[in-house]
Protein backbone atom coordinates (compact mmCIF):
# COMPACT_ATOMS: atom_id res chain seq x y z
CA UNK A 1 0.00 0.00 0.00
CA UNK A 2 2.44 2.56 -1.19
CA UNK A 3 1.34 6.16 -1.21
CA UNK A 4 0.90 6.48 -4.94
CA UNK A 5 -2.26 8.41 -5.41
CA UNK A 6 -3.15 11.44 -3.40
CA UNK A 7 -6.80 11.43 -2.82
CA UNK A 8 -9.00 13.34 -0.54
CA UNK A 9 -12.60 12.76 0.14
CA UNK A 10 -14.48 15.56 1.70
CA UNK A 11 -17.72 15.26 3.51
CA UNK A 12 -19.76 18.09 4.84
CA UNK A 13 -22.47 17.04 7.22
CA UNK A 14 -25.05 19.46 8.41
CA UNK A 15 -28.65 19.15 9.34
CA UNK A 16 -31.36 20.66 7.21
CA UNK A 17 -31.26 24.06 8.83
CA UNK A 18 -31.70 27.47 7.39
CA UNK A 19 -29.54 29.56 9.70
CA UNK A 20 -25.80 29.93 9.24
CA UNK A 21 -23.59 27.43 11.03
CA UNK A 22 -22.15 29.05 14.16
CA UNK A 23 -19.91 26.18 15.18
CA UNK A 24 -17.66 23.88 13.22
CA UNK A 25 -16.18 20.49 13.91
CA UNK A 26 -13.40 19.30 11.61
CA UNK A 27 -12.59 15.59 11.63
CA UNK A 28 -9.77 13.83 9.81
CA UNK A 29 -8.80 10.17 9.74
CA UNK A 30 -5.26 9.88 8.46
CA UNK A 31 -4.62 8.26 5.09
CA UNK A 32 -8.07 6.70 4.66
CA UNK A 33 -8.39 5.65 1.02
CA UNK A 34 -11.27 6.81 -1.15
CA UNK A 35 -11.48 3.24 -2.42
CA UNK A 36 -12.84 1.96 0.91
CA UNK A 37 -15.05 5.00 1.48
CA UNK A 38 -16.88 4.55 -1.81
CA UNK A 39 -16.56 0.80 -2.42
CA UNK A 40 -15.92 -0.85 0.95
CA UNK A 41 -13.23 -3.44 1.59
CA UNK A 42 -10.81 -4.11 -1.25
CA UNK A 43 -10.52 -7.82 -2.08
CA UNK A 44 -7.12 -7.33 -3.78
CA UNK A 45 -5.66 -6.22 -0.45
CA UNK A 46 -7.66 -8.64 1.71
CA UNK A 47 -6.45 -11.57 -0.43
CA UNK A 48 -2.81 -10.51 -0.32
CA UNK A 49 -0.82 -12.51 2.25
CA UNK A 50 1.37 -9.51 2.89
CA UNK A 51 -1.60 -7.60 4.27
CA UNK A 52 -4.01 -10.15 5.76
CA UNK A 53 -1.92 -11.91 8.44
CA UNK A 54 -3.88 -15.08 7.64
CA UNK A 55 -7.08 -13.31 8.70
CA UNK A 56 -8.81 -12.99 5.35
CA UNK A 57 -11.73 -15.15 6.52
CA UNK A 58 -12.45 -12.74 9.35
CA UNK A 59 -12.10 -9.74 7.03
CA UNK A 60 -14.54 -11.24 4.54
CA UNK A 61 -17.01 -12.24 7.24
CA UNK A 62 -17.14 -8.74 8.64
CA UNK A 63 -16.86 -6.61 5.55
CA UNK A 64 -17.58 -8.48 2.33
CA UNK A 65 -20.59 -8.13 0.03
CA UNK A 66 -20.46 -8.65 -3.73
CA UNK A 67 -22.24 -5.35 -4.39
CA UNK A 68 -19.96 -2.37 -3.63
CA UNK A 69 -22.99 -0.36 -2.43
CA UNK A 70 -23.74 -3.04 0.18
CA UNK A 71 -20.04 -3.49 0.91
CA UNK A 72 -19.39 0.15 1.78
CA UNK A 73 -22.39 0.12 4.15
CA UNK A 74 -20.81 -2.75 6.08
CA UNK A 75 -17.65 -0.73 6.61
CA UNK A 76 -19.13 2.74 7.11
CA UNK A 77 -22.79 2.38 8.10
CA UNK A 78 -23.17 5.95 9.38
CA UNK A 79 -21.53 7.48 6.30
CA UNK A 80 -23.86 5.56 4.03
CA UNK A 81 -27.03 6.43 5.88
CA UNK A 82 -27.12 9.76 7.75
CA UNK A 83 -24.20 11.46 5.99
CA UNK A 84 -25.34 10.23 2.59
CA UNK A 85 -28.82 11.62 3.10
CA UNK A 86 -28.03 14.80 5.11
CA UNK A 87 -24.57 15.75 3.93
CA UNK A 88 -22.58 16.51 0.83
CA UNK A 89 -20.06 14.01 -0.37
CA UNK A 90 -17.11 14.66 -2.68
CA UNK A 91 -14.30 12.60 -4.14
CA UNK A 92 -15.75 9.46 -5.71
CA UNK A 93 -13.15 8.90 -8.40
CA UNK A 94 -15.27 6.12 -9.90
CA UNK A 95 -17.39 8.98 -11.25
CA UNK A 96 -14.45 11.23 -12.09
CA UNK A 97 -15.03 13.38 -9.00
CA UNK A 98 -11.40 14.02 -8.15
CA UNK A 99 -10.56 15.81 -4.95
CA UNK A 100 -6.78 15.98 -5.10
CA UNK A 101 -4.44 17.76 -2.80
CA UNK A 102 -2.14 20.23 -4.45
CA UNK A 103 1.14 19.52 -2.63
CA UNK A 104 3.55 17.15 -4.40
CA UNK A 105 4.49 15.06 -1.36
CA UNK A 106 1.34 13.09 -0.56
CA UNK A 107 2.05 12.52 3.11
CA UNK A 108 0.83 13.91 6.38
CA UNK A 109 2.33 17.26 7.42
CA UNK A 110 2.12 18.81 3.91
CA UNK A 111 -1.47 17.48 3.66
CA UNK A 112 -2.59 18.91 7.00
CA UNK A 113 -0.89 22.19 6.25
CA UNK A 114 -2.89 22.38 3.04
CA UNK A 115 -6.17 21.49 4.78
CA UNK A 116 -5.68 24.19 7.41
CA UNK A 117 -4.24 26.98 5.28
CA UNK A 118 -6.05 26.34 2.00
CA UNK A 119 -2.91 26.17 -0.12
CA UNK A 120 0.19 23.97 -0.49
CA UNK A 121 3.68 24.99 0.56
CA UNK A 122 6.49 23.04 -1.11
CA UNK A 123 8.88 24.10 1.66
CA UNK A 124 6.90 21.90 4.06
CA UNK A 125 8.40 18.65 2.83
CA UNK A 126 8.82 16.51 5.92
CA UNK A 127 6.74 15.16 8.79
CA UNK A 128 9.44 16.45 11.13
CA UNK A 129 9.14 19.99 9.76
CA UNK A 130 9.35 22.60 12.53
CA UNK A 131 6.35 24.59 13.84
CA UNK A 132 4.16 25.78 10.97
CA UNK A 133 5.16 29.26 9.79
CA UNK A 134 1.65 29.78 8.35
CA UNK A 135 -1.47 30.85 10.18
CA UNK A 136 -3.92 27.95 10.16
CA UNK A 137 -7.70 28.32 10.04
CA UNK A 138 -7.81 27.36 13.73
CA UNK A 139 -5.34 30.06 14.72
CA UNK A 140 -7.14 32.61 12.53
CA UNK A 141 -10.49 31.83 14.15
CA UNK A 142 -9.01 31.92 17.65
CA UNK A 143 -7.86 35.47 16.85
CA UNK A 144 -11.42 36.60 16.00
CA UNK A 145 -13.37 38.16 18.88
CA UNK A 146 -16.32 35.75 18.54
CA UNK A 147 -14.11 32.68 18.61
CA UNK A 148 -11.38 33.74 21.03
CA UNK A 149 -10.61 30.87 23.43
CA UNK A 150 -13.36 28.78 21.87
CA UNK A 151 -11.05 26.73 19.65
CA UNK A 152 -9.47 23.38 20.55
CA UNK A 153 -7.70 20.52 18.77
CA UNK A 154 -7.27 16.85 19.66
CA UNK A 155 -4.84 14.72 17.64
CA UNK A 156 -3.58 11.18 18.13
CA UNK A 157 -0.24 12.16 16.53
CA UNK A 158 2.15 14.43 18.43
CA UNK A 159 3.11 16.33 15.24
CA UNK A 160 -0.07 18.40 15.60
CA UNK A 161 1.73 20.55 18.15
CA UNK A 162 3.92 21.71 15.25
CA UNK A 163 1.38 21.47 12.39
CA UNK A 164 -1.03 23.76 14.25
CA UNK A 165 1.78 25.76 15.88
CA UNK A 166 0.45 25.32 19.38
CA UNK A 167 2.93 27.76 20.88
CA UNK A 168 2.02 30.70 18.66
CA UNK A 169 -1.63 29.74 18.15
CA UNK A 170 -2.55 30.05 21.84
CA UNK A 171 -5.36 27.53 21.64
CA UNK A 172 -5.09 24.08 23.22
CA UNK A 173 -3.69 21.24 21.10
CA UNK A 174 -3.99 17.93 22.96
CA UNK A 175 -1.86 15.48 21.06
CA UNK A 176 -0.65 11.91 21.58
CA UNK A 177 0.07 11.37 25.28
CA UNK A 178 -0.73 14.90 26.49
CA UNK A 179 -2.76 14.82 29.69
CA UNK A 180 -6.02 16.75 29.85
CA UNK A 181 -7.64 18.81 32.59
CA UNK A 182 -4.64 20.91 33.65
CA UNK A 183 -4.16 21.23 37.42
CA UNK A 184 -7.78 20.24 38.16
CA UNK A 185 -8.77 17.31 35.99
CA UNK A 186 -12.38 16.08 36.17
CA UNK A 187 -13.08 12.49 37.19
CA UNK A 188 -13.43 11.54 33.53
CA UNK A 189 -10.16 13.28 32.62
CA UNK A 190 -8.39 11.54 35.50
CA UNK A 191 -9.57 8.16 34.26
CA UNK A 192 -8.64 8.82 30.63
CA UNK A 193 -5.23 10.21 31.68
CA UNK A 194 -4.49 7.09 33.75
CA UNK A 195 -5.62 4.75 30.97
CA UNK A 196 -3.57 6.68 28.42
CA UNK A 197 -0.41 6.26 30.50
CA UNK A 198 -1.00 2.53 30.98
CA UNK A 199 -2.25 1.79 27.48
CA UNK A 200 -0.73 -0.42 24.79
CA UNK A 201 1.55 1.75 22.63
CA UNK A 202 1.87 0.05 19.25
CA UNK A 203 3.01 3.32 17.63
CA UNK A 204 5.57 4.30 20.26
CA UNK A 205 5.51 7.62 22.08
CA UNK A 206 4.57 9.73 19.04
CA UNK A 207 1.00 8.53 18.68
CA UNK A 208 -1.68 7.17 20.98
CA UNK A 209 -4.58 4.89 20.13
CA UNK A 210 -7.56 6.76 18.66
CA UNK A 211 -9.88 5.73 21.48
CA UNK A 212 -8.14 8.17 23.86
CA UNK A 213 -8.20 11.05 21.39
CA UNK A 214 -11.89 10.45 20.75
CA UNK A 215 -13.04 10.23 24.37
CA UNK A 216 -10.94 13.24 25.36
CA UNK A 217 -12.41 15.26 22.50
CA UNK A 218 -15.97 14.18 23.34
CA UNK A 219 -15.51 15.12 26.99
CA UNK A 220 -14.17 18.52 25.96
CA UNK A 221 -17.06 19.05 23.54
CA UNK A 222 -19.60 18.23 26.24
CA UNK A 223 -18.03 20.19 29.09
CA UNK A 224 -16.22 23.13 27.44
CA UNK A 225 -18.54 23.70 24.47
CA UNK A 226 -15.92 24.91 21.94
CA UNK A 227 -17.23 26.72 18.86
CA UNK A 228 -14.44 25.22 16.76
CA UNK A 229 -13.17 21.71 17.41
CA UNK A 230 -10.68 19.66 15.44
CA UNK A 231 -10.31 15.90 15.96
CA UNK A 232 -7.58 13.94 14.19
CA UNK A 233 -7.68 10.15 14.23
CA UNK A 234 -4.52 8.32 13.21
CA UNK A 235 -5.02 4.56 13.28
CA UNK A 236 -6.21 4.26 9.67
CA UNK A 237 -2.73 5.42 8.65
CA UNK A 238 -0.73 3.48 11.24
CA UNK A 239 -2.31 0.10 10.52
CA UNK A 240 -1.95 0.68 6.77
CA UNK A 241 1.77 1.39 7.27
CA UNK A 242 2.04 -1.87 9.21
CA UNK A 243 0.26 -3.68 6.37
CA UNK A 244 -2.50 -4.86 8.74
CA UNK A 245 -5.60 -4.59 6.59
CA UNK A 246 -8.04 -5.99 9.14
CA UNK A 247 -6.93 -3.45 11.74
CA UNK A 248 -7.11 -0.69 9.12
CA UNK A 249 -10.72 -1.61 8.31
CA UNK A 250 -11.64 -1.94 11.99
CA UNK A 251 -10.14 1.52 12.63
CA UNK A 252 -12.17 3.02 9.77
CA UNK A 253 -15.36 1.43 11.06
CA UNK A 254 -14.64 2.75 14.54
CA UNK A 255 -14.20 6.29 13.23
CA UNK A 256 -17.56 5.97 11.46
CA UNK A 257 -19.19 5.03 14.79
CA UNK A 258 -17.46 7.88 16.60
CA UNK A 259 -18.64 10.37 13.99
CA UNK A 260 -22.14 9.05 14.66
CA UNK A 261 -21.63 9.63 18.41
CA UNK A 262 -20.46 13.20 17.73
CA UNK A 263 -23.43 13.85 15.44
CA UNK A 264 -25.90 12.40 17.92
CA UNK A 265 -24.48 14.57 20.68
CA UNK A 266 -24.44 17.70 18.52
CA UNK A 267 -28.07 17.19 17.48
CA UNK A 268 -29.29 16.73 21.06
CA UNK A 269 -27.47 19.70 22.59
CA UNK A 270 -29.16 23.11 22.16
CA UNK A 271 -25.74 24.84 21.97
CA UNK A 272 -24.93 22.87 18.82
CA UNK A 273 -28.20 21.55 17.40
CA UNK A 274 -28.92 22.71 13.84
CA UNK A 275 -26.13 25.29 13.91
CA UNK A 276 -23.00 23.18 13.64
CA UNK A 277 -21.26 22.11 10.43
CA UNK A 278 -19.07 19.01 10.47
CA UNK A 279 -16.31 18.63 7.90
CA UNK A 280 -14.73 15.21 7.44
CA UNK A 281 -11.68 14.61 5.28
CA UNK A 282 -8.26 13.00 5.04
CA UNK A 283 -4.73 14.21 4.36
CA UNK A 284 -3.81 11.79 1.55
CA UNK A 285 -4.66 8.39 0.10
CA UNK A 286 -2.27 5.51 -0.41
CA UNK A 287 -2.79 3.97 -3.86
CA UNK A 288 -3.68 0.40 -4.76
CA UNK A 289 -2.05 -2.90 -3.83
CA UNK A 290 -1.80 -3.88 -7.50
CA UNK A 291 0.31 -0.82 -8.30
CA UNK A 292 3.23 -1.98 -6.20
ZN1 LIG B 1 -1.11 11.05 6.85
Q: What domain range includes position 220?
A: 10-291
Q: Torsion angle, CA of 267/152/131/237, rounded to 10 degrees?
A: -40
Q: What is the pLDDT at residue 1?
A: 35
Render pLDDT for 130-146 as a digit per residue (tens, 0 to 9): 999 999 999 999 999 99
Structural domain contains residue 2? no
Structural domain contains residue 186? yes
Q: Average pLDDT for residues 238-262, to the nearest whole number?
A: 97
Structural domain contains residue 5? no
Render pLDDT for 42-53 as a digit per residue (tens, 0 to 9): 999 999 999 999
Q: How far is the CA of 120 from the centre of ligand 1 (A)?
A: 15
Rg over alpha carbons for the chain, rounded to the nearest Å, is: 18
Most confident of 19-33, 89-103, 211-225: 211-225
**C-alpha distances in Å from residue 118, one per residue of 65, 99, 110, 252:** 37, 13, 11, 25
Residues with a beta carbon under 5 angstroms from ion ligand 1:
30-31, 108, 237, 283
Q: Tell me the pLDDT band of 20, cut-offs 50, 70 and 90.
A: confident
Separation between Cα atoms, residue 7 and residue 288, nearest integer Å: 12
Structural domain contains residue 242? yes
Structural domain contains residue 1? no
Residue 22: is its pLDDT beyond 60?
yes
Separation between Cα atoms, residue 72 and residue 119, nearest integer Å: 31
Q: How far is the CA of 263 from the centre of ligand 1 (A)?
A: 24
Structural domain contains residue 114? yes
Q: How far is the CA of 224 from the centre of ligand 1 (A)?
A: 28
Q: How far is the CA of 163 from the centre of ligand 1 (A)?
A: 12
What total of structural domains would you count in the chain?
A: 1
CATH number at residue 169: 3.40.720
Structural domain contains residue 4? no
Q: Is 122 exposed, middle or buried (0-12, 13-18, 19+ CB in 10 A)?
A: exposed
Is the pTM value of this prediction over 0.85? yes
Q: Average pLDDT for residues 52-58, to the nearest whole number?
A: 94
Structural domain contains residue 112? yes
Amino acid sequence: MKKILTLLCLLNLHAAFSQTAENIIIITTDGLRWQEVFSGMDSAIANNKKYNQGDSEVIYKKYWAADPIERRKKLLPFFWSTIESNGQLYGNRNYGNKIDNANPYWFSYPGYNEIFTGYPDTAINSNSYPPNPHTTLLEFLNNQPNYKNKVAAFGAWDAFDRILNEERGKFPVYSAFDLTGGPKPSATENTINAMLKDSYKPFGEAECLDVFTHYNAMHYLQTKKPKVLYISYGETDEWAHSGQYRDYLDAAKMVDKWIQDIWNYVQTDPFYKNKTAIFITTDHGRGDAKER
